[in-house]
Chains A and B, each alone.
Chain A
Amino acid sequence: MGLKHIHYAYWLSCVHRIGSVKRNRLLEYFGNEEEIFNASKEQLSKVNGIGSKDIESLISGRDSTIVEESYGKMLSQDIRFVHKGDAIYPERLYNIYDAPYCLFYKGILPDSSKKTVAIVGARNVSYSGSIIANRMGRQLAENGIQIISGLARGVDVYAQNGAISIAGNKTFAVLGCGVDICYPRQNIETYMLIQESGGIISEYPPGTPPLSGNFPMRNRIISAFSDGVLIIEASERSGSLITAEYAIEQGKDIFAVPGEIGNKLYYGSNQLIKDGAALVTDVSDILDALGIFYDCNIKNICTKKITLVSKEKIVYSSLGLNPAHISEISVRAGLNITQTMEVLISLELKNLVCMVGNNYYAVKI
């Protein structure tokens, strides 16, 4: 019997059918993990809420060699394990109600002493939302702020890509599945990069599939790690609002990027602002609120100095973050179609505009 305390904790966190409620009841009854591991059937059945199937599941996995082996295997996959009570268990998590019993992670855990901002938002993000998310992620990272998010499609991944682009910054993703699973799959590139420049974190054991019920729960961890939560493009029933709710409960700052009235993509964001969230139009708004000193030049979005000929200026100024069709641009700029095309291509070459869809252009920042 070479099992240590961490093995018992690992075993308990991996037992099938035992979630946080049942785990807490067991711990309350037995006092510690080792006792549960060695408890008899009769003892287990005395615990309130533990059924016969749960007992079966508890007993069937109680083989010390298997537990040890599987723990070793997990370590060999570069997955670390930390549980409540450990020295490295993040301090910030103790402050919340229903703190996760344990965490699995790849890479490192967030530095509790550093300022951290969570960026969350719509999965089906518009072009302007994606640009804002990317910029916010990048500029916060430039100011030494750790970014934490959920690695979901849309805002999450754009923000994290922005943060990753700043060398030396730490970015973290909290998943609703096992840390060895990249969900959604197309974010694999970001998933790999985050492991190098930060950490992938989950309270679910490796191999847990991305079940829809897990995702709202992981949001409490995202907000717990952060000092403030920035919400970009939340619609009326967005999952980001759940994160905001947790953040309010945990006493964190809420930042929201406003949207046009009547734009349903921003309904939730605007609602948050109405309810008292800080309105953010620029990264400096967040930095001010967090009390961070920053370079005043940051306010200028476009610090690149590029000379444009007059036609280019006209076309550029008629573009916005919302993608516009070439014919629309040509009307706004008062040029004919072929001239507009020529100017747009040269602007694209200068990396100032982006072709969002076919014949649709928007500014790039």
Chain B
Amino acid sequence: MYSEAYSAVIQGIEGRIIHAEADVSDGLPCFSLVGCLSSEVKEAKERVRVALKNSGFKIPPKKITINLSPANIRKDGTCYDFAIAAAILSALGIISQKLLRKAVLIGELSLDGKFKSVSGVLPMVYTAYENNISLCIVPKDNVKEAMFVKGITVIGVDNLQDAADILNSEELELRKYIVSTENEPLDYKESIQQIPISDFADIVGQLIACRGAEVAVSGMHNFLMIGPPGTGKTMIAKRIAGIMPELQIDECMEISKIYSVSGLLTKDMPVVMNRPYRAPHHTVTQAALAGGGRYPKPGEISLASGGVLFLDELAEFSRQTLEVLRQPLEDGYVNVVRLDGNYRYPAKCMLVAAMNPCRCGFFPNRRKCTCTPIQVKNYLDRISKPFLDRIDICTETVQLDFKEVYGVKYELEYKNRETSEQIRKRVLQAQKIQKERYKKETFKFNSYLSPSNIKKYCIMTSEAKEFLKDILEKMSFSARAYHKILKTSRTIADIEQKSLIEKEHIAEAVCYRSVNSKYWREGRNSYGT
């Protein structure tokens, strides 16, 4: 007898519905599994057979053939066990076909017939929803994650026996299983407050870097901090996600999908509720950073989507690793091409980088810095110009006096320091203005302005125009630097809630430019005299 059940396969971060077809017929007893399978799927044969036996089902000595179709898509992972088992049971007439045709079955079987959790449940359930399938049965541990998709019935099961019972029941009876699988749907707002986020008020001094971070977040500009060791660069980076606006439900979904595919969602964190903060070590490989591998997986830049990708010790990263970030930073996605398909992972994150100004870390303080000008140049040269061109805001952190860290001055200043909440309010305001301004465009933030859009949206007062003209003439900026300044000053004007860009906004943006000029100066000397 022939039967089929549905499951789903992951391609990139999108799912696709597949059919598990089973046929039980007379012939030499055998159990064969076909349909472009990777080795873990091939092994499903043994798992399913034993699990069926241990769940009390008797498999007759017949020729059993399973096909996972479409047969030209490669199947990875262990989530098809359930569908294969259900298809066999249905072909044997043990469970009815009625519900089977309306459900997507996801889950890995252990030999005793229990279900184990799998990765990628969220995008698979979402795909089921998109394909108008009304029911999803998943392992119990994946229920919370799957329930994040609204508009589809999700049932969690513990073992194969229960699953057979559910599939044999009437559609109207299903409700009781939903209730029994515990738990009201996740409260989206509540879970945000649960996780403590470190606050900007902890940071001593570094006013420019803090302000730079605020501007960067407001316009989602990429952000670079240069400074001696131990001046709070990492502290600032860790707090940046905390001044970003809360995740919207659709962003949540997209980010959770990525995490689901990567197997990073757990029972305790079924969906991603906070802005991600990813800080890969500088030994990270190209594939781990941008995504890839033999069976492609999202890289750190995708995992940081909607949040912060923090590259500490930027100069220590290998050059090739940094260069692979160039295209994703520009386009907001990574395309990983393999023989059997094209995988596209989102990569819309804010890049925050930190580095020392030289090997010893103290340039331009010559009393402490022991590097020669060449060493300074060589150190900075490790970051390529095209990469730097993608960073709009660059600030320098400064070494603090002891009395600034402890003592009277610290106590005094502590009271006046801004909390992340206060900064976030301004950021929200600035982002709201941008959203309003760009409602007809495909982008939402100033950092995505193209040169033609800059002309359209970055309108200056006549005083500012004169000022910028002056600067361009005297400081010999490239066209790209000019665009960067305009984009940044647009964001600063948004924070100040001004519709026109004014002189002071330009001046501040020019102070953030930096990188392309002095440090990275070519020619005969490092001070430019």
List A residues at the B interface (Cβ < 8 Å): 123-127, 129-131, 134, 153-154, 157-158, 161, 184, 186-190, 263-265, 323, 325-328, 330, 337-339, 341-342, 344-346, 348-349, 351, 354-360, 364
* Beyond A337-B211, A339-B504, A341-B511, 18 additional pairs, beta carbon < 8 A: A124-B366, A126-B366, A126-B367, A130-B525, A153-B372, A153-B374, A157-B524, A186-B374, A188-B524, A189-B523, A265-B367, A327-B398, A330-B207, A338-B507, A342-B503, A355-B518, A359-B398, A364-B529
Minimum Cβ distance to chain A for residue B418 (Å)? 13
- Are B518 and A161 touching (Cβ within 8 A)? no
Q: Which of B299-324 contact A (CB under 8 A)?
A: none
Q: Which of B493-529 contact A (CB under 8 A)?
A: 503-504, 507-508, 510-511, 514-515, 517-519, 523-525, 527-529
- Are A356 and B518 touching (Cβ within 8 A)? yes
10 smallest beta-carbon distances between A and B, as pairs = A126-B366, A342-B507, A359-B396, A325-B398, A358-B396, A357-B364, A341-B511, A345-B507, A358-B514, A342-B504
Across the two chains, which residue of chain A brings its CB closest to B212? A359
Q: How far is the CA of A298 from the CA of B13 in the complex (A)?
A: 72
Q: A337-B207, A359-B511 are in contact. Are A157 and B525 (CB under 8 A)?
A: yes
Q: Point out which of B208, B364, B511 has the most chain A C-beta atoms below 10 A from its C-beta.
A: B511
Minimum Cβ distance to chain B for residue A106 (Å)? 19
- Are B357 and A357 touching (Cβ within 8 A)? yes
Please tell me which one of the listed residues B207, B364, B471, B523 contacts residue A356 in the complex, with CB atoms under 8 A apart. B364
Q: A345-B511, A349-B471, A349-B474 are in contact. Are A358 and B529 (CB under 8 A)?
A: no
- Are A354 and B527 touching (Cβ within 8 A)? yes
Minimum Cβ distance to chain A for residue B57 (Å)? 70
List B residues at the A interface (Cβ < 8 Å): 205-208, 211, 226, 357, 363-367, 369-374, 394-396, 398, 470-471, 474-475, 503-504, 507-508, 510-511, 514-515, 517-519, 523-525, 527-529
Q: How far is the CA of A65 from the CA of B374 in the complex (A)?
A: 43
Minimum Cβ distance to chain B for residue A236 (Å)? 13
Q: How far is the CA of A250 from the CA of B144 in the complex (A)?
A: 89
Q: How far is the CA of A29 from the CA of B475 in the complex (A)?
A: 65
Interfacial chain A residues near B226, Cβ < 8 Å:
357-358
Q: A327-B207, A359-B396 are in contact. Are A344 and B511 (CB under 8 A)?
A: yes
Across the two chains, which residue of chain B brings its CB closest to A330? B207
Interfacial chain B residues near A348, Cβ < 8 Å:
474-475
Q: How far is the CA of A264 from the CA of B470 in the complex (A)?
A: 40
Q: How far is the CA of A348 from the CA of B208 in the complex (A)?
A: 19
26 chain-A/chain-B pairs, Cβ below 8 angstroms: A124-B369, A126-B366, A131-B527, A131-B529, A153-B372, A158-B529, A189-B524, A327-B398, A330-B207, A337-B207, A338-B211, A338-B508, A341-B510, A342-B503, A345-B471, A346-B507, A349-B470, A349-B474, A351-B474, A356-B527, A357-B364, A357-B519, A358-B396, A359-B395, A360-B364, A360-B396
Q: How far is the CA of A349 from the CA of B503 in the complex (A)?
A: 13
Q: A348-B475, A357-B518, A358-B395 are in contact. Are A326 and B511 (CB under 8 A)?
A: yes
Interfacial chain A residues near B363, Cβ < 8 Å:
357
Q: How far is the CA of A125 from the CA of B371 in the complex (A)?
A: 10
Q: Point out which of A187, A346, A357 has the most chain B C-beta atoms below 10 A from its C-beta.
A: A357
Minimum Cβ distance to chain A for residue B367 (Å)? 6
Interfacial chain B residues near A358, Cβ < 8 Å:
226, 357, 394-396, 514-515, 518-519
Across the two chains, which residue of chain B brings its CB closest to A355? B518
Interfacial chain A residues near B364, Cβ < 8 Å:
126-127, 323, 356-357, 360
Q: How far is the CA of A344 from the CA of B508 in the complex (A)?
A: 10
Interfacial chain B residues near A364, Cβ < 8 Å:
529
Q: How far is the CA of A339 from the CA of B511 in the complex (A)?
A: 11
Q: How far is the CA of A326 from the CA of B206 in the complex (A)?
A: 10
Q: How far is the CA of A344 from the CA of B470 in the complex (A)?
A: 14
- Are B206 and A327 touching (Cβ within 8 A)? yes
Interfacial chain B residues near A123, Cβ < 8 Å:
372
- Are B517 and A355 touching (Cβ within 8 A)? yes
Interfacial chain A residues near B470, Cβ < 8 Å:
349
Q: A327-B207, A345-B507 are in contact. Are A125 and B366 (CB under 8 A)?
A: yes
Interfacial chain B residues near A263, Cβ < 8 Å:
367
Please tell me which one of the listed residues A129, A337, A355 contacts residue B208 in the complex, with CB atoms under 8 A apart. A337
Q: How far is the CA of A323 from the CA of B470 in the complex (A)?
A: 24
Q: A346-B507, A349-B474 are in contact. Are A359 and B524 (CB under 8 A)?
A: no
Across the two chains, which residue of chain B brings its CB closest to A365? B529
Interfacial chain B residues near A124, Cβ < 8 Å:
366, 369-373
Q: How far is the CA of A326 from the CA of B227 in the complex (A)?
A: 13
Please tell me which one of the listed residues B357, B524, B528 contacts residue A186 in the complex, with CB atoms under 8 A apart. B524
Q: How far is the CA of A265 from the CA of B366 in the complex (A)?
A: 8
- Are B504 and A130 touching (Cβ within 8 A)? no
Q: How far is the CA of A161 from the CA of B503 in the complex (A)?
A: 35
